[in-house]
């Protein structure tokens, strides 16, 4: 009898130890999942919803972690939740105000929020994001992104909100001294604002010659400039050349198709390029697949293929139901049937 009781007790003890070890293992696995590094990894892969969940858990455990708050600012900006981006951006700079990029991203959040509401509020908010860009530059004088953002602000803002073309020109000169590629791009912005498109284009073509970056930013800037000038075929040529030279640059596929759609011509080529784009996984900062379905729907609509247009537009809305442009185009095509 005593022996049976002894063995029963041992079994219970073993069971308790196994359960305890399992709980500790689960806790350790959860701890490994919800880490700052995992949040960064998900953000870099553009898995913003998942990154948000992980980073919120990190902040819950480590309320004074500036990097986690900063990453949440970036995540919420990419999710178009500007209020929360500001909340976490402000917390990041409160915890560590010595990091240039913290101020840069907080400035971006203020800038996007400034586009909402009344003009009076916009002026007040505009001064706030100008101030953050200036702080970012003060902390790192070589922060080209912050200098470019400040330069664009100075060009576009009214004088009452701190706009100043002379100061913008000075920023372009400083950027040129830091990096000739981004200096050429900065000068293109300046001359576009001055409506001197010849000089702007010259600087963009100079930038393309200088560009050795992996994202080929100058080629995209030139292509977008040509689209803005309604020189759609030239834009398509720029994007086609980019894709042929760098086949991994799949965003160029989308831009070729978009150029032809805007031209309302060469629609067979536009169809082909959008279909190619829909076969790949969009790279970082590339147009989403929903946008490609939307544009392909526009191609079919222009070709008079209403049934095919509806299929693509409905898929675009399914993938991004809140997008106003997708919904508007879908309703317009429905009315035509």
State pLDDT tens for residues 244-294.
999 999 999 999 999 999 999 999 999 999 999 999 988 777 899 999 999
Distance CA 32, CA 30 (A): 5
Output DSSP code: residue 288: P
CATH code for the domain of 295: 1.25.40.10
Distance CA 140, CA 146 (A): 9
- Domain assignment present for residue 283? The answer is no
- Domain assignment present for residue 282? The answer is no
Confidence label for 126 from pLDDT (cuts 50, 70 and 90): confident
Distance CA 83, CA 154 (A): 24
Name the residue range of residue 324's domain. Answer: 288-337
Q: Are 300 and 337 in contact (CB under 8 A)?
A: no
Output DSSP code: residue 160: G
First vs last C-alpha separation in the chain: 86
Is the pTM higher than 0.85? The answer reads: no
Closest-CA residue to 239 (of 221, 262, 261, 264): 221
- Domain assignment present for residue 315? The answer is yes
- Domain assignment present for residue 299? The answer is yes
Closest-CA residue to 46 (of 281, 242, 319, 322): 281
Max CA distance (Å), the chain: 101
- Domain assignment present for residue 275? The answer is no
Question: Can you read off the two tokens belonging to residue 131?
Answer: 């101030």
Which residues are CB-contacts of 208 (< 8 A; sequence separation ≥ 6)?
218, 219, 222
pLDDT digits (tens, 9 = 90+) for 64-113: 999 999 999 999 999 989 999 999 999 999 999 999 999 999 999 999 88
Three-state DSSP class for residue 142: coil
Angle of helix 144-156 relative to helix 180-193, nearest 10 degrees, comes to: 10
Q: How many domains does the chain have?
A: 1
- Domain assignment present for residue 8? The answer is no
- Domain assignment present for residue 302? The answer is yes
b/e per residue 61-91 (b: at least 16 CB within 10 A): eeeebbbbbbbbbbbbbeeeebebbbbbbbb
b/e per residue 12-30 (b: at least 16 CB within 10 A): eeeeeeeeeeeeeeeeeee
- Domain assignment present for residue 235? The answer is no
Output DSSP code: residue 34: S
Closest-CA residue to 41 (of 60, 25, 62, 58): 58
Residue with tokens 């007040």: 124
Q: What angle do CA 245, 246, 250 make, to 5 degrees?
A: 130
pLDDT digits (tens, 9 = 90+) for 175-208: 999 999 999 999 999 999 999 999 999 999 999 9
- Model pLDDT, residue 22: 43
């Amino acid at each position: 009898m005593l022996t049976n009781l002894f063995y029963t007790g041992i079994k219970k003890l073993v069971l308790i130890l196994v359960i305890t070890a399992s709980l500790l293992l689960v806790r350790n696995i959860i701890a490994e999942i919800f880490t700052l590094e995992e949040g960064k990894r998900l953000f870099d892969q553009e898995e913003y919803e998942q990154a948000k969940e992980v980073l919120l858990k990190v902040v819950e455990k480590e309320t004074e972690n500036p990097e986690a708050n900063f990453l949440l600012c970036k995540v919420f900006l990419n999710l178009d939740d500007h209020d929360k981006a500001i909340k976490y951006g402000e917390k990041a700079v409160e915890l560590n105000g010595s990091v240039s990029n913290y101020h840069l991203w907080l400035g971006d959040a203020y800038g996007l929020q400034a586009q909402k509401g009344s003009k009076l509020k916009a002026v007040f908010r505009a001064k706030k994001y100008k101030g953050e860009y200036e702080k970012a530059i003060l902390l790192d004088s070589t922060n080209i992104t912050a200098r470019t953002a400040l330069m664009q602000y100075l060009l576009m803002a009214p004088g009452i909100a701190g706009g100043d073309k002379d100061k913008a020109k000075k920023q372009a000169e400083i950027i040129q001294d830091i990096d000739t590629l981004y200096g050429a791009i900065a000068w293109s912005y300046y001359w576009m604002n001055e409506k001197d498109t010849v000089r702007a284009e010259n600087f963009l073509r100079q930038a393309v010659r200088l560009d050795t970056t992996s994202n080929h930013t100058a080629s995209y800037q030139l292509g977008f400039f040509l689209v803005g000038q309604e020189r759609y075929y030239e834009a398509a040529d720029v994007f086609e050349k980019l894709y042929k030279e760098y086949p991994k640059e799949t965003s160029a596929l989308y831009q070729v198709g978009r150029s032809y759609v805007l031209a309302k011509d060469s629609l067979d080529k536009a169809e082909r390029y959008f279909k190619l784009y829909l076969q790949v996984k969009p790279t970082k900062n590339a147009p989403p697949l929903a946008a490609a379905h939307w544009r392909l729907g526009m191609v079919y609509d222009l070709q008079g293929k209403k049934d095919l247009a509806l299929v693509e537009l409905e898929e675009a809305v399914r993938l991004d139901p809140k997008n106003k442009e997708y919904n508007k185009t879908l309703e317009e095509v429905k009315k035509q049937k």
